[in-house]
Each structure stands twice: as C-alpha cells, then as structure tokens.
Structure 1
Amino acid sequence: MKKLLFLLMFLPAFAIAQKENPGTNNRFKYCMLIETGKVFGKGVNVYVDYGDTTVRSGNPKDALGKKIKFDTILSALNYMGDQGWDLVNSFIIRNPNNVGYEGHYLMKRKL
C-alpha cells in the first residue's frame, strides 16, 4: 500500500517534468562570421555567410545599405550581438602558405 501511495504521489511530477511548454521556440537560424586580416590599412574584413548561397553573402550593412567597417573583430561581434545573434563557437584557419588567417565565428539566433 505504501508503494502504491508513493507511486501515485510522484507520478504527476514525472508527467509534468516531461511536458514541453508549447510557447517555447527551439528553432534557430545560424550564420558564420568570417574575419580576414587586411594586408594594408587598418581594421579587419568581415563577411557573413548565412548558408543560402555557395559564395559569401557579403559584408554587414547599415540601415542605408552602406558597408559597415570594423576596426577589430570584437566590434564586429558586438554588432552581431546587438542584432540578436549569439556566439556558439569560434576557430582560426591559417592559409596553407602561412600568409594570413581566417577567423570563423559560428553564431545563432532564435527564429
């Protein structure tokens, strides 16, 4: 009898714990922020790949459609954060001839 009472007491708790909240959105959109260092000049080149084309999607643009220039990769990451993107992972790729590098920053945001 004690076992049955114990089971009946905790069964609703297990059922509630497994139920998914219908108001939550677990869908994300991903993009890759790609940074290349400039050979001459100040700042970094930044491209955003949204995965919808086979080529890089281009530079981040402001409300007027003008290319945004970034002095550092941190300013680019802060800009993407302001747009609702969260950093998931990052890694650096060196060019095969050891001249230059590419920084890749995987980002996501809720749909």
Structure 2
Amino acid sequence: LVNYKKEQAAAHGERGEQTKAELIETLIPALDVLELSVKHTDSAELKLLEKQFLYALKSLGVERFGAVGEEFDPRRHEALAKRGEEHKVESVERSGYSVGERIIRPAQVII
C-alpha cells in the first residue's frame, strides 16, 4: 500500500508538470513578442510587463535560459550558427524555457 501511494504521488506530480509545460508552451509565443518589443523599444511599461510575466512564470517553476557567455549545451541550446572557436553563446536569438529538468524549448543561439 505504501509503494502504491508513492507511485500514485509520483504519477500525479508528472501529470502536473506535463500540464504546466503544456500551458507554458502556449504562452511562450506571446512572451517572445514581448521580449522582442523590449529589445527594440525603450518602453518602461513593456519592460515592467516582461519582468512581471517572468516573475509569474518563475513562481510556477519555469526558468528562462540562454544568455551571452553561457557555455553551449546541446541539451539546452540549438545552435543556429557558429562564429567563433569557443563553445560559448555569442548571441541569443530566442530564449529557452524549462520546468524542472524538462526543457520546454531550447534556446536558439549563435556560438
């Protein structure tokens, strides 16, 4: 009975994480547009909105990743081009997102 309860709890946790990942996948395109808008304007309002959006996602266990200078990791990054000899991210074309150990979308980067 104890093992059954543990198995059920683990399965419930996996379903919850799967549902969360699916929800985040539907929100990512809107966040991409917001991120691009922030990069190309000086709008304090858009920056605040992006910050609040990311804070809300973080409270759900979602991590945005992909930053200049990060070590390239093929599990977390999708290389669009390679410019240098080092395996470090030179620019981020699209951020990546994860929930726990699950990669929702790899970051698209130039190394």
Q: Establish whether TM, by shorter chain, passes 0.5.
A: no
TM-score (norm 2): 0.32
Bigger strand fraction: 1
Bigger helix fraction: 2
Higher RCO structure (Cα 8 Å, ≥6 apart) = 1
- Between structure 1 and structure 2, the one with the greater Rg is 1
